[in-house]
Amino acid sequence: MKTLADYCHCRVCRRATLPVGFLRLCLRLNPRFIFAVGIIAACAAAPNLLARPTANQFPAPVLADATAEISRRVSNRVAQSSNETTVRRQNSRNDCGGKTLLDKIAFIESSNRSACIGDGGAARGAHQLHLAAVLDCGGTRADWIALTNRAVSDKFAGAYIELIKTKLAKAGIKQPSPAQIYQCYNQGFTAAKRTGFDPSKAPKTTRNAIAKL
């Protein structure tokens, strides 16, 4: 004799013990009867359907392992985020935004902001060049205005650095250090010459910038 459990494996039908033939007969006689039987069976199974998982379904060792794994992953992610933040801060303080002197000067002078205008409007671009520096490198006022374009700024800042090296070589310093080059770049060649091209004798703001090179 077959019951509903032979046709359906849900919790409600597994709990039903009435024969299928009897249910079919009842359905022919009174469709409301089978509906009522279904409601009664569903209500009887409802506590089990809505019950929370028991300890037998999720043993304590399994729960403990899952909790430990979640805690480990969260701790690792927090540590990774902290390390990434530390590295970014160190790079911003020490690397100066690039490996070349040209890149480092751009970071020190403007934090790599091409549209930067400084010194009351006298310095323009990522490398904060003055009009006199652009003219010394063979440029024009139009070139100076165009320094807010990073490519133009790189071109004239690179030329100005080479000009400083040439002047230092004529002054007897054949292999100047990055600190000496930047001292001339920041102070001006004449002012740097008065200190004997000694970065330690430069103004404090210049020395602080040199420390980032």
Q: 10-residue block means of pLDDT along the chain (213 residues)?
A: 53 52 57 62 55 55 72 76 57 52 93 93 95 95 95 95 95 94 95 95 94 88
Contact (CB, 8 A) for 15 and 45: yes
Backbone angles phi, psi at 118, to 5 degrees: -130, 180
What is the pTM for the complete model shown?
A: 0.55
The per-residue pLDDT for 91 is: 45
The per-residue pLDDT for 77 is: 74
The per-residue pLDDT for 73 is: 80
The per-residue pLDDT for 81 is: 67
The per-residue pLDDT for 36 is: 64
Q: Are strands 117-118 and 123-124 parallel, antiparallel or unpaired?
A: antiparallel
Q: What are the boundaries of each domain within the chain?
A: 4-50, 56-95, 96-210
The per-residue pLDDT for 86 is: 58
Contact (CB, 8 A) for 108 and 96: yes
The per-residue pLDDT for 97 is: 45
The per-residue pLDDT for 120 is: 92
Q: Please tell me the distance from the alpha carbon of residue 188 to that of residue 78, in angstroms, as a whole number.
A: 47
Contact (CB, 8 A) for 149 and 114: yes
The per-residue pLDDT for 96 is: 46
The per-residue pLDDT for 28 is: 59
Separation of first and last alpha carbons in the chain: 91
